[in-house]
Amino acid sequence: MTRQNIDIDVESYKALPFAPAVKVSGTVLYTAGLTSRDDAGAPVGPGNMARQFEQIFFRLKQIASAAGTDLEHLVKVTIFVTDIDRAYADPDQWRRYFTGRPASTLVEVSRLKSPEILVEVEAVFHVPDNAG
């Protein structure tokens, strides 16, 4: 696998937990948009954005593992939230999952599938060549 974070010589970009761009070679895994659901499909953390991020990234870890990869190989994440101020009030609620500095987009939307759902995440992973 070749993975290269593309940085520019701007300190404010270098200090971020995500890269402006990520270049990879090899197999790529794309996820669907994930919301905070338990095993039965019921919402987890209604009204609690931090809890919803926790559940979504728990699922992303499961999906990545099933495909032979992990959060270190997360190369792009798109996050949809219903209240961007709440998302930025505690950015560590989602940035702590960015161990490999993926490229990232955060977008506010007017609503998601149901009113108690505040967050949806799509992810792109690199799958290492030795993944089974």
Here the tokens at position 64 are 């990545």
Total domains, the chain? 1
Here the tokens at position 5 are 């974070």
- Average pLDDT per 10 consecutive residues for the chain, totaling 132 residues: 76 76 81 92 94 94 92 94 93 82 93 94 90 54
In this prediction, residue 131 carries a pLDDT of 55
Residue with tokens 């960015």: 98
In this prediction, residue 23 carries a pLDDT of 78
Here the tokens at position 34 are 């994930």
In this prediction, residue 13 carries a pLDDT of 74
Distance CA 49, CA 91 (A): 11
Q: Evaluate whether residue 9 is within a structural domain.
A: no
CATH of the domain at 98: 3.30.1330.40
Q: Where would I find the beta strands (DSSP E) of 7-131?
A: 21-24, 27-30, 74-81, 103-108, 119-127
Number of H helices, E strands in the chain: 4, 6
Q: Evaluate whether residue 12 is within a structural domain.
A: no
- Please give the residue range of the domain that contains residue 31: 27-127
In this prediction, residue 132 carries a pLDDT of 52
